Structure 1
Amino acid sequence: MESAFDPHATSGANAAGIWQIIPSTGRNYGLKQTRNYDARRDVVASTTAALNMMQRLNKMFDGDWLLTVAAYNSGEGRS
């Protein structure tokens, strides 16, 4: 896991939190981002969003978890 399970981790692509979610994906999955609060850093909220995204991707790839994880890692826009 790129974040080393650190909810304060940020990548060069501005992905944040333990799931390394970029801002647009966070918004797509209902993660609030303001000047004072970023739900991508909230362990419960971001885990819920990551699981929702993985469920959607897994359905898209007919239950193939290898493709699901690869698609999650590459980013939603590239799936």
Structure 2
Amino acid sequence: MKVTLRLFGQLRELAKCDEAEIEIKEGTKIGDLVWLVGERFPNMRQHLKVVSFSIDNDYASKETVLNEGNEVSLLPPISGG
């Protein structure tokens, strides 16, 4: 199965892309996907500890099971002042 990973902010800069396809197994949860992303983009590992997630534009938790074709967005913390 494949899901599309969408990256924003500093994650996009670290990965040098804004979108990537990730191959996953059936039953993969977002928490598992985060590990796979860290393997593919090792320079992002530290930042993955504080991201939020959405699947197909709906917020999701690390326990959410992914399905074929999902679009998973990794959302870094927003700061400002």
Q: Same fold (TM over 0.5)?
A: no
* Larger helix percent: 1
Looking at secondary structure, tell me which structure has more strand per residue. Answer: 2
Query: Which of the pair has the greater relative contact order for Cα pairs under 8 Å at 6+ separation?
Result: 2
